[in-house]
Amino acid sequence: MAGHSKWANIQHRKGRQDKLRAKLFSKMSKEITVAAKMGDPDPDKNPRLRLAVKEAKQSSVPKEVIERAITKAVGGDAESYDEIRYEGYGPNGVAVIVEAMTDNRNRTASSVRSTFTKNGGNLGETGSVGFMFDRKGQIVYPASVGDEDTVMMAAIEAGAEDVQSDEDNHVVYCAPTDLNEVSTALEAALGESESTKLIWLPNMQTEMDLEGLTKLMRLVETLEDDDDVQSVTTNVEASDEVMAAYANS
């Protein structure tokens, strides 16, 4: 992406947050249930669960929804989900990573493959595009939390790897295994973050014009509408002009 805040703003203007609100709650509840089922149901003793609960709260998931998901896992009546990563290419050869949780691998694979095919892409083998991304922990703070030097010093002391700042946000990156520790240290220094999660960060990007971006977003949005899909990441790069044109289309 050309930048965290610019891309987030485009998605917001296109109204995806409102459309996906119910699905977002469902996806986050699933992650909380799986995390609680795999480890300790106490977030303080289960880093994955702690991060899942934190992300849910940051996305305004109601407290009762979070508690219900944990109770479901503890009670033993939660569904069993397999975590699967799909890799493929979208329009114009853009790399796409799809992460899913499913109770039916055949159903999900068929749906994801069909979505790629119908939207100008093709599903590849595991590893076909993964080398174009690095797995990272990402912690986002608003620019108002402090200047770039203040955030950089706090990030270094917390054990982060990098900070990218612009007029809207400070985005802190760390090793995926350090996310819980780094985010906890940053909370003590800077307060609550806007977002804390594991991401796939592109290490090489594919430039795209307005027509290509429009086709790609149709693929991404269709994938995101799938109940089994947890996240979709691409390595698209677009100029400010193209992104603005797409936002206003």
Quick one: 172 exposed, middle or buried, by C-beta within 10 A (0-12, 13-18, 19+)? buried
pLDDT-derived band at 12, boundaries 50, 70, 90: very low
The predicted-structure confidence for 131-179, as pLDDT tens digits, reads as follows: 999 999 999 999 999 999 999 999 999 999 999 999 989 999 999 999 9
Q: Which residues contact 88 (CB under 8 A, 6 or more apart)?
A: 96, 98, 116, 121, 122, 123, 124, 128, 129
The predicted-structure confidence for 56-74, as pLDDT tens digits, reads as follows: 998 889 999 999 999 888 8
Local structure of residue 167 (DSSP, 8 states): S
**pLDDT for residue 37:** 87
Three-state SS across 39-60?
Answer: CCCCHHHCHHHHHHHHHHHHCC
Of 88, 169, 97, the closest CA to residue 134 belongs to 97
Quick one: 45 exposed, middle or buried, by C-beta within 10 A (0-12, 13-18, 19+)? exposed
pLDDT-derived band at 78, boundaries 50, 70, 90: low
Of 101, 104, 29, 127, the closest CA to residue 69 belongs to 29
* Residue corresponding to tokens 């459309």: 19
**pLDDT for residue 138:** 95
Go through the domains of the chain in sequence order and give each one's CATH number.
4-74 (1.10.10.200), 82-131+203-247 (3.30.70.980), 133-202 (3.30.70.980)
What is the pTM (predicted TM-score) of this model? 0.86
Grouping H, G, I as helix, E, B as strand and the rest as coil, residue 82 is: strand
Give the Cα-Cα-Cα angle 162, 166, 171 (nearest 5 degrees): 35
**Cβ–Cβ contacts within 10 Å for residue 10, how many?**
20
